[in-house]
Amino acid sequence: MGPPGGGRNPVTGRLLRHFCVVAINEFDDACYSRIYTAISSWWAARARLPEAASARLSAVVAATLSLYGALRRQLLPTPAKSHYVYNMRDLSKVFQVDDHLGVNFSDAFPPAVDVTGDPAGGPPSAAVSPRRGGGVAEGTAEAAALRRVVYAPFAKAAGGEGPSLYQEVPSGQQLLRAVEGALADYNTQSKSRLELVVFAYAAEHVARISRIIRRGAQQPYGNALLVGVGGSGRQSLSRLAAHMAEYKLFSVEITRSYGLTEWREDLKKVLLQAGVSGQPCVFLVSDTQLKSEAFLEDINNILNTGEVPNLFAKDEVVSILEGVTARAKKAAAAAAAAAAGTAGSGPQQPRAAGAALTPAGLWAFFVESCRANLHLVLAMSPVGGAFRERLRKFPSLVNCTTIDWFSEWPADALQGVAGRFLASLDMAPASAEPASAAAPAAAAAPSSGESPTAAASAAPGAGAAPHEGAGEDGRGFEESEAGAAAREAVVELCMAMHIGVRRLAQDFYRDQKRRTYTTPTSYLELIQAYKELLGAKRKQVQQQRSRYEVGLSKLLAAEVDVGRMQEELTALQPRLVETGKQVAETLTVVDRETQEAAAKREVVAGEEAAASTKAAAAKAIKDECEGELAVAMPLLESALAALNTLTKADITEVKSMKNPPAPVKVVMEAVCQMLGVKPKKMNDPSDPTKKLDDYWGPSQALLGDPTFMSQLSGYDKDNIAPNVIAAIRPFLDRKEFEPETVKKASKAAYGLCCWVRAMEAYDRVAKVVAPKKAALATAEAEFEQLMVGLRAKKAELAAVEARVEELNSKLREMQASRGARPAERKASLEAEAALCEKKLERATKLIGGLGGEKTRWSEVTRRLAKDYVNLTGDVLLAAGYIAYLGPYTAPYRDRMAHAWLSKCR
């Protein structure tokens, strides 16, 4: 147990009296030296280092202990820096290496920063290697030289295959190329792009995060605590480093209903992925995602022990043990082979790899797999007291992690971000022409927990992508030397603004005891606001300038139009007189022709009225005839329809009758009368001296005639002889000739009976209608005679009207040539002349009234052109005021604004 404090509760005396208390003091340097010298010697023998390199390991241990002691003495914990606590874990991280170290051991010493003993027998000191070209100042390496020394697990083995090697990056350009290549690869594979501007400061942080999370490179259980203000790019660079390590990144998505239950479910997912599947993964957690301090309690347990107590239910534990059994057997076999000396130096296995395959051993294997494969990356902000309080309550956040502090951007980072963002901005728009392409200005994409004020969260050296222009392919400009100088001056002033506000924040805190923060987000907001405001103000000024220029062009055009109208009015006078005479002559002819046409129109109208009367009379007679015929036509049509229903069999049936019924005989006698068939004379049975007319024999012959039905259907009903009608009418009153009586005797006879009755009825109506048809024919003849004369009169009228229309058309053409409406006739010519004079008078007054405005508008146009050029600096000052000076009082704002103004001038 540790002493009380830092999240540890004191132990009561009542409990302590049952134990023997053994206090372990801090080890001295001799103990530390012995421990780490033994570890280094074992590693040197395992790696088969040359004797010259192995002999220097004691000096490396001594130098490390010297640095560790200096840190503990000089960097003491304070309320603002409560994480300045060091223990043996921090010291051990220096010596935790494995087989993936990519150093060529034949040339491993002297390394980039060589550690040697002092010739005078004093403690070891750091000296910059001659390969670095640095210098030594009183036994300490220069900070700039040390910054250029970067080890990173980016390089591949020979041939570009196999695991990445942890080795020194020879140059900053190579480091940048490696990070940019990884960024391009990430953007091609991921749905959410990372739009980053990568430069040295960002690449160094990527290297640090990569060293921490790569288990085989620097630390077996690498967990990182990234400390920096919002917008510094902690999460963006963590995602990139995880991608470079080919680790799966996991991050929770905070919603309104997200609570401890959802948090525990997410923890289960990531622990199962790391412990059961054995897949290396990075768990990225931001302080803005910590909705409850219970989240930090679970994180503290994972960092310290690799598990969360009572997280999994019993059935889930059984499933986990089944899932890790195969991997545990394989790991146990590998551990046994390594112990026998047959495995060599293989990949690092979990510490419980050789444990027994019991439930406890399998669970220990699962926990160690989680610790080996799960890398926690915590992104926290030092602003406020929450960070200090959390470090005090949960000491594993410091003890079990490696802290990467995202400090203020250096000057080269500020200059690089501004230069890349402003690359697409035309600094000399008046004279520059658009080029075909430009380098893309990338920016950091927004990620959860980063600053919401910028368009996207930026990494250190990764600027937030503004909404318009930046972050996309911008326009390039073949600008002049003045434009290039203006761009360089703007970049320098942006950098000076940010650095100056940092100092202003210190003075403000010293004087007012009010803390303000100048974050990378503020710098990105400066650039964002500058681009947006510059575009908006340029558009506004250009619009105003265009309005005045258009007004001036209108005035000049009006002056030209006045001169032209004067010339037109002068040339119009003689043409008006001549055209007036022509119009008057044409109007006289038109009036005469119009009167003639009116007289013809009256005559035609009278004859047309008479023709209409005749037509009405003829129509009345025709309607009366058709009404009377309408009575007989249905009977005729029904009779013909009845005939159409008769078949050859029906006719044959009647014909074959030997002794036909009386109704059949009567019907056939009537048909014979209609068709003019003569009867056959035969003796009267009652008086042999007399002869009787027998129609049945001729009827049978008639029925046998193939043309019998066609004779009936084609019978000339309009010309029936009067003697035939006289012979038929007696039949109509006979009972045997009634249709219903005949229908009972024979179907065929019924149809013939109906036909005879229809013929008689039609003849009776036709004799009544015949005189009326004659009257109708007479009326139609008279009407047609009237129409012949009427058509002749109408032809004469059409010719006269065509002549009038031709004259009117000629008159309209004459009037249209002078711009008047046709209805105005001659008066339109005078109106046109008057209108031209009025336009001339008004234009003259307008030009005279705006004579002074022309001078003023010209002056305003020149002033706006000058303002358009000055917007480059004016808008930058305004953007700086917006981005930085909001939290400060008026005196401090004025002081900084005057400082910026002096730099602009």
Report the alpha-carbon distance of residue 297 to residue 290 in Å, rounded.
11
d(CA 578, CA 583): 9
Phi-psi domain of 48 (left: phi exceeds 0; alpha: psi -120 through 50; beta: other): left
Angular region, 103: left φ>0, alpha ψ -120 to 50, beta rest:
beta
- Asked if 59 and 117 touch (Cβ cutoff 8 Å), the reply is yes
Question: pLDDT tens digits, residue range 362-383?
Answer: 999 999 999 889 999 999 988 8
In degrees, to the nearest 5, what angle opens at C-alpha 66 toward C-alphas 63 and 69? 150
Contact (CB, 8 A) for 756 and 763 = no
Structure tokens that stand for 593 in this block: 């022709």
CA angle 859, 860, 861 (to 5 degrees): 90
Angle at 540 between CA 536 and CA 546, to 5 degrees: 140
Cβ atoms of 182 and 164 closer than 8 Å = no
Question: What does the pLDDT read at residue 251?
Answer: 92
Which pLDDT value is given to residue 282?
Answer: 94
First to last CA, the chain: 65
Q: Which stretches of 586-737 are assigned E, i.e. beta strand?
A: 680-684, 687-694
E strand or H helix at 357: none
Q: Give the residues across from 477 on adjacent strands.
A: 434
**Cβ(92)–Cβ(39) under 8 Å?**
no
Spatial contact of 508 and 218, defined as CB atoms under 8 Å apart: no
Dist. CA 235–CA 209, nearest whole Å: 11
pLDDT for 474: 42
The pLDDT value given to residue 821: 42
Q: Going by C-beta distance under 8 Å and a sequence separation of 6 or more, which residues neighbour residue 820?
A: 827, 828, 829, 831, 832
864-880, pLDDT tens digit by residue?
A: 888 888 888 888 889 89
Other C-beta atoms closer than 10 Å to the C-beta of 760 total 20
Give the residue carrying structure tokens 């034949």.
106
* Whether this model's pTM surpasses 0.85: no
pLDDT at 49: 82
d(CA 505, CA 732): 134
Which single residue is written with the structure tokens 């950098």?
495
CB atoms inside a 10 Å sphere around CB 343: 15
374: phi then psi, degrees, rounded to nearest 5:
-100, 125
Q: Please state, for a pLDDT cut of 70, what percent of the chain lies above it.
A: 73
Q: What pLDDT is recorded for position 105?
A: 38
Residue with structure tokens 């669970």?
363
Contact 387, 403 (CB under 8 A): no
Q: For residue 875, which of 434, 486, 477 has the smallest C-alpha distance? A: 486
Low-confidence ranges of the chain (pLDDT < 50): 6, 98-100, 102-139, 157-159, 216-218, 342-347, 431-477, 818-823, 825
Tell me how far CA of residue 134 lies from CA of 63, 115, 163, in angstroms. Answer: 19, 14, 32
Pairing mode of beta strands 687-694, 680-684: antiparallel
Let me know: does 297 contact 263? Beta carbons within 8 Å. Answer: no
